[in-house]
Structure 1
Amino acid sequence: MTEQELRSASAGATPHRAQGAGPARPSGAATGWVRFGGILMAVVGGFGVIEGLYALFLPTTFVNSNGAVLALTYTGWGWLHIVLGALVLVVGLSLLRSDVPGWARGTAIVLVALNAIVQLSWLPAYPVWSIVMIVLDVLVIGALVAIGDRAAWS
């Protein structure tokens, strides 16, 4: 085929991304995983805020053998859970938008990993709840990592 025939044959074809057709649209599976991660993050963030409020207003609810969790007081842990929970909640809600911001996925993974570490530290005070929260954090990370890179979306 000549160059002219190739141009006319490809004129009606859908442009390929490599030819500058614009950004790729995420597939249904990719957006489904992001939405799943966003919903779980909203739940985890809400639970984190509630957990922090409990630590602030009902410190006797969380008791371990030493009476303290690491080096922080229950008030310190309460504020840590409230702030981290609110951040996780806000970033989780941003993942539910129709146009997910580029920063949201990476920030979500970092925040949820940090939340899992905080829950691990909180384990002596409230073991069952901490394990449930760590499992939810791992599910969120799995959901957000499973979609791969945006450039690979078809």
Structure 2
Amino acid sequence: MSEELLVKQSVAKGTAMGGAVLLVTVGVLEFLQGISAVAKDEVILVGVEYTYKLDVTAWGWIHLVLGAVVAATGIGLFSGVIWARISAPIICGLSIVVNFLWLPYQPWWAITIIVLNAVVIWAVATWDPAKI
């Protein structure tokens, strides 16, 4: 095995494990964001009309469910189970779409989660445990 491939796989493995921690963190924070939206907390700002308009409470429930699924996938990925490696890119892709639609409500938060999900997708797609 070439040294370059070994380094790339080591970086991908480290990023995948970091991604697992990020998934759990993002899941918990997204869950808390959902609680805030469901409770109609003052933290959530409702702006101008938006093409994909949903009630803030509906967005809250979406974030609650998605946050729980993301956190569970992160725990599974951290454990190294195969279902988590398969579902992590799908769940992250779904989270990217949901947070893209959430942009008018919390733009910086949504962009941060989109970027973190993209990093996790790269890490999980690149890491091959058989090569280390």
What is the TM-score with the length of structure 2 in the denominator?
A: 0.82
**What is the CA distance between 1:94 and its match in structure 2?**
1.2
1:78 alignment partner, SS class: helix
1: CA distance between counterparts of 2:32 and 2:51? Answer: 18
CA contact (8 A) 1:39 1:96 kept: yes
* TM-align CA RMSD: 2.0
2: CA distance between counterparts of 1:46 and 1:63? Answer: 22
The structure with the greater share of residues assigned to helix is: 2
1:96 alignment partner, SS class: helix
**What is the CA distance between 1:29 and its match in structure 2?**
4.8
2: CA distance between counterparts of 1:121 and 1:30? Answer: 29
**What is the CA distance between 1:130 and its match in structure 2?**
0.8
**How do residues 1-154 of structure 1 correspond to structure 2 at under 5 angstroms?**
29=11, 31-58=13-40, 60=42, 61-66=44-49, 70-97=52-79, 100-148=80-128, 150-151=129-130, 153-154=131-132
CA contact (8 A) 1:91 1:104 kept: yes
**1:22-49 CA-partner distances (Å, limit 9, x unpaired):** xxxxx75554232111011111111110
Identity %: 33
2:3 aligns with: none
| Unaligned 5+ runs, structure 1 | 1-26
2:16 alignment partner, SS class: helix
What is the TM-score with the length of structure 1 in the denominator?
A: 0.71
| Unaligned 5+ runs, structure 2 | 1-8
1: CA distance between counterparts of 2:107 and 2:13? Answer: 33
**1:47-105 CA-partner distances (Å, limit 9, x unpaired):** 11011111111255231112x672421111111100001000011011112xx111111
Q: Which has the larger radius of gyration?
A: 1
> One-letter code of the match for 1:95?
L
Pair 78,41 (structure 1): closer, same or farther in 2 beyond 3 Å = same
**1:88-141 CA-partner distances (Å, limit 9, x unpaired):** 0011011112xx111111101100110010000000111111111111111111
> One-letter code of the match for 2:110?
S
